[in-house]
Amino acid sequence: MEFKFCPQCGERLVPKLCGDDGNVPFCERCSRPFFPFSYPCVLCLCITEDGSEIALIKQSYVSEHYVCVAGYIKQGETPESAAVREVMEEIGLETVSCRYVKSYYYEKRDNLMLGYVCKVKKGRLVTSCEVDSAEWFPVKKGQELLRNSSIAQLLLKDYLGGME
Ligand SMILES: [Zn+2]
């Protein structure tokens, strides 16, 4: 996201040289630069503690394919607590452990996706109104259901690759 107006006072921003970054949108009233950035999100691979099954969801407003739990990181929140919160909100599961895997850039939505693996106790999936359905799948089946080259599929691949 690139700012054209100051998000604090609404003044039109002007380009200003900021060292190595070159010209950066700057608010002369607040006397501060507003660097362009991509919204940070968490992508959560929800897997049973024994690593045998993953929980995938369907969200018609996002994709017709199965996807992983994901969401924006709230102001003041760490990615880890966002991951735990999203897993609870979207599928109603408690995260036993949460570990960072890798980050991905999602150009279509200008999102910086931080990939986490969330070990969860297998239980009944209770979905939020944001989620159409959620289901458990054996890992291999899940891999096939995720859209080819999607970030969710990459996260699963990177997670499994790191286990070898
Ligand atoms: Zn300002």
46 and 22 within one domain = no
148 and 98 within one domain = yes
Report how far residue 84's alpha carbon sits from residue 56's, in angstroms, rounded to the nearest whole number: 15
Q: What is the pLDDT of residues 43-53, one digit of tens each?
A: 999 999 999 99
In this prediction, residue 61 carries a pLDDT of 81
4 and 79 within one domain = no
Residue 23 CA to ligand 1 centre (angstroms): 17
Residue 24 CA to ligand 1 centre (angstroms): 14
92 and 30 within one domain = no
Structural domain span for residue 22: 1-37
Q: How many domains does the chain have?
A: 2
In this prediction, residue 34 carries a pLDDT of 96
* pLDDT, mean of residues 10-24: 94
Report how far residue 118's alpha carbon sits from residue 97's, in angstroms, rounded to the nearest whole number: 6
Phi-psi category of residue 110: left, alpha or beta, with phi > 0 → left and psi -120 to 50 → alpha:
left
Residue 34 CA to ligand 1 centre (angstroms): 9
Residue 33 CA to ligand 1 centre (angstroms): 9
Residue 11 CA to ligand 1 centre (angstroms): 5
Residue 74 CA to ligand 1 centre (angstroms): 22
77 and 125 within one domain = yes
Q: What is the DSSP letter of 4?
A: S
pTM above 0.75, yes or no: yes
Q: CATH number of the domain that 139 lies in?
A: 3.90.79.10
133 and 95 within one domain = yes
Report how far residue 69's alpha carbon sits from residue 90's, in angstroms, rounded to the nearest whole number: 7
Q: Which two tokens stand for residue 161?
A: 């690759």
1 and 29 within one domain = yes
125 and 144 within one domain = yes
